[in-house]
Structure 1
Amino acid sequence: MTLTQLRYLVAIADAGLNITLAAERVHATQPGLSKQLKQLEDELGFQLFVRKGKSLDAVTQAGRQVLERARLILAEVGNIRAIAANLRNEAHGELRIATTHTQARFALPAAIAALNARYPQVSVHLLPVQDGEVLAQLEAGRADLAVISTAAGVPPPVGLALPAYRWHRVILMPQDHPLAARRQALQLADLARLPLVSYDSSLKPESSLRRAFELEGLAPQIAMTAGDADLIKTYVRAGLGVGVLAEMAVQAGDDDLVALPADHLLPECTTWVVLRRDVVPREYMLEFVARFAPHLDRRDVTRVLADAAPARWPAAPHWRERPVLPLPDAA
């Protein structure tokens, strides 16, 4: 039994039993991967997968037990390598970040650029997915950290959640919209009469947007949803409805639109950096956290990860109050 065989086994499971896809992910050939799988099964004396013809159909009961242990072994091997790399002050590697489009497009660029300036040999891989899929990427080991937002409390206990910043939503509309020139503050009753364009998560029953309307005895008219804030703005411009989106998604180039504050209408949100507690972080990962959430003491983060100690973090700054990290000159 080898680490390569265990790595191939996990890759097959994570690829939905698609050997071709698994081989691509581990940079192996399909025949080579199949051969290693057969050698592992021959050594163990039982099958790890149920076959249907030449395809894998399911994981056997014994295979599930082996998979669980294989993941633990590979995780500990990764931890040993991380410890060694940190002790050698290695400045190269990769950082995989699972997050949403809004965070990837509007919140992360400055921190990633600062990380690149400090660690130019670290490659960063963004995994933009739907809101409800971010933590699943972290749990499955496909990401080193996650950046996710919540409107109530901390994220599910997948790892160590570090508060990065707080933010509110805005109501976005074309300049010629009747509400754009309104002097009085918007009310939810005003929005309930209008078609809304917002994030995919607003379709969920537990959506904070829906809950806010329900508390007022109202129901939102969701005309369109998207996981991409730029798409929301595009369809607001196209006249499909009034947009409800994160304030950081409104940029200087959006001057053809009017953004009205919704601080008094919708609950405040918090963006979190989530780290796996069972993984030894590389120094560049901690550097990213320091850049993205500079109010957190790096030593406290390291201590809590090492000791699993209870964490009491300082209050996260609001998006409008955060220090602005300059982006490097593209020239």
Structure 2
Amino acid sequence: MKLQQLRYALEVYRHNLNVSEAAEALFTSQPGISKQIRLLEEELGIQIFIRSGKRVVSVSQPGKAVLELAERILRDVQNIKNIGSEFTEHDSGSLTIATTHTQARYALPAIVAEFVQRYPKVRLSIKQGSPDVLAQMVVNGEADFAIATEALEENGELRKLPCEAWTHAVVVPDDHPLLDCRHPLAIEDLAAFPLVTYEFALNHNNNIARAFQKARLDLPTVALSSADTDVLKTYVRLGLGVGLMAKMAYDVKTDSDLHLIDASHLFEPSHTYIALRPDTYLRGYTYDFINLFAPKLTRTQIDKMLYEPIEEDFSI
């Protein structure tokens, strides 16, 4: 059994059983991957993947157990490498961050610039996606940590480190009727217009949906949803609806053709979290990046929240 074989099998699973995509991601050939997986299956005496002709169509029951252990083994191998690198090459390596477009575009640029200045030898990569996708990237080991909103709380495999809270705002073009409404903005006024907002904004447990429910109003129509704040603003300019987005994503210079209306009083603040696996060995520069993003998160506090057992309260 070779680590390479485990990696190949896991990559096929991660690419929805598409061997060609797995081969492309690993910069190798499809026949090479298929051969190594066959050899692994022969050694184990089981089928990891169920096939129909030449196509992989599903994962067998014992295959699921093998893939789960393979993921753990490869993660531990990476942790061992990280420990060695921390003492031999403490200022070089790689760091992959999974985050939303809003964080990448508006919250991270100054942090990244400072980090790159401190650690010019570290290869920094930023991957974007929805909160659910970001969480899965960390679970799968595709990212070292994720920066996103409270939607990450639903994933029990990750530890969440609380950072800053952020508020919502409404953006509208010139001459929009909301500009003539009473101030501060009332939720009844907002409910009268279709929204252009985030994909997850009106999920059942989201604070935006809760605000409309608390006011006993029907959820407004969503004319367009996107994870990309700049896309939202583009369609607000085209008149599709009222933009509801993170207040920090409004830029006075580039968005001068849009009007910002504060909505922080209408919706509970949203919280930004950093999500990590509790079995991850963090490099020194990873602690520094987190501290740059959230100064209150020192190395001691991060270790306490990440590695100490969670105390369950069973009192009634």
Q: TM-score, normalised by structure 1?
A: 0.87
Q: Report the counterpart of residue 250 of structure 2 in structure 1.
A: 250
Q: Comparing 112-121 with 175-184, which one deviates more in the overlay?
A: 175-184
Q: Report the counterpart of residue 329 of structure 1 in structure 2.
A: none
Deviation at 1:183, TM superposition (A): 5.6
Closer, same or farther: CA 58–301 of 1 in aligned 2, 3 Å: same
Amino acid at match of 1:300: Q
Identity, in percent, stands at: 40
Q: Comparing 274-283 with 297-306, which one deviates more in the overlay?
A: 297-306
**Pair 1:168 & 2:171 matched:** no
Structure 1 residues 275-294: aligned runs within 5 Å: 275-294=276-295
Deviation at 1:181, TM superposition (A): 5.0
Q: Report the counterpart of residue 11 of structure 1 in structure 2.
A: 11
Structure 1 residues 189-200: aligned runs within 5 Å: 189-200=188-199
- Residues 56-85 of structure 1: CA distance to partner in whole angstroms, max 9, x if unpaired? 111111211111111111111111111111
Amino acid at match of 1:266: F
Cα pair 1:277 1:308 within 8 Å, conserved? no
Aligned length: 309
Q: Report the counterpart of residue 56 of structure 1 in structure 2.
A: 56
Q: Report the counterpart of residue 263 of structure 1 in structure 2.
A: 264
Amino acid at match of 1:186: L
Amino acid at match of 2:293: F
SS in structure 2 at match of 1:180: helix
The CA distance in 1 between the partners of 2:300 and 2:131, in whole Å, is 29
Deviation at 1:155, TM superposition (A): 5.4
The CA distance in 2 between the partners of 1:304 and 1:240, in whole Å, is 43
SS in structure 2 at match of 1:254: coil
The CA distance in 1 between the partners of 2:204 and 2:159, in whole Å, is 27
Deviation at 1:246, TM superposition (A): 0.2
Q: Report the counterpart of residue 124 of structure 1 in structure 2.
A: 124
Structure 1 residues 201-220: aligned runs within 5 Å: 201-219=200-218, 220=220
SS in structure 1 at match of 2:179: coil
The CA distance in 2 between the partners of 1:60 and 1:157, in whole Å, is 25
Q: Comparing 262-271 with 124-133, which one deviates more in the overlay?
A: 124-133
- Residues 211-244 of structure 1: CA distance to partner in whole angstroms, max 9, x if unpaired? 2111111122322222211111111111112111
The CA distance in 2 between the partners of 1:225 and 1:122, in whole Å, is 35
SS in structure 1 at match of 2:146: strand
Amino acid at match of 1:36: Q
**Pair 1:233 & 2:233 matched:** yes
Closer, same or farther: CA 12–156 of 1 in aligned 2, 3 Å: closer
The CA distance in 2 between the partners of 1:180 and 1:55, in whole Å, is 58
Cα pair 2:167 2:264 within 8 Å, conserved? yes
Deviation at 1:103, TM superposition (A): 1.2
Deviation at 1:107, TM superposition (A): 1.2
The CA distance in 1 between the partners of 2:92 and 2:155, in whole Å, is 31
SS in structure 1 at match of 2:96: strand
Deviation at 1:124, TM superposition (A): 2.0
Deviation at 1:207, TM superposition (A): 3.1
Amino acid at match of 2:133: E
- Residues 25-75 of structure 1: CA distance to partner in whole angstroms, max 9, x if unpaired? 222222221221121112112221111111111111121111111111111
The CA distance in 2 between the partners of 1:305 and 1:3, in whole Å, is 27
SS in structure 2 at match of 1:179: helix
Deviation at 1:177, TM superposition (A): 1.9
Amino acid at match of 2:21: L
Deviation at 1:154, TM superposition (A): 4.9
Cα pair 1:174 1:237 within 8 Å, conserved? yes
Cα pair 1:135 1:158 within 8 Å, conserved? no
Q: Report the counterpart of residue 314 of structure 2 in structure 1.
A: none
* Gapped regions of structure 2 (runs ≥ 5): 312-316
The CA distance in 2 between the partners of 1:144 and 1:59, in whole Å, is 27
Closer, same or farther: CA 54–144 of 1 in aligned 2, 3 Å: same
The CA distance in 1 between the partners of 2:129 and 2:162, in whole Å, is 20
Deviation at 1:255, TM superposition (A): 1.4
Cα pair 1:131 1:148 within 8 Å, conserved? yes
- Residues 104-128 of structure 1: CA distance to partner in whole angstroms, max 9, x if unpaired? 1111222122221111122222221
Cα pair 1:155 1:161 within 8 Å, conserved? no
Q: Report the counterpart of residue 146 of structure 1 in structure 2.
A: 146
The CA distance in 1 between the partners of 2:120 and 2:229, in whole Å, is 29
Q: TM-score, normalised by structure 2?
A: 0.91
SS in structure 2 at match of 1:280: coil
The CA distance in 2 between the partners of 1:303 and 1:135, in whole Å, is 21
Cα pair 1:303 1:309 within 8 Å, conserved? no
SS in structure 1 at match of 2:176: coil
Cα pair 1:48 1:63 within 8 Å, conserved? yes
Deviation at 1:257, TM superposition (A): 1.2
Closer, same or farther: CA 249–298 of 1 in aligned 2, 3 Å: same
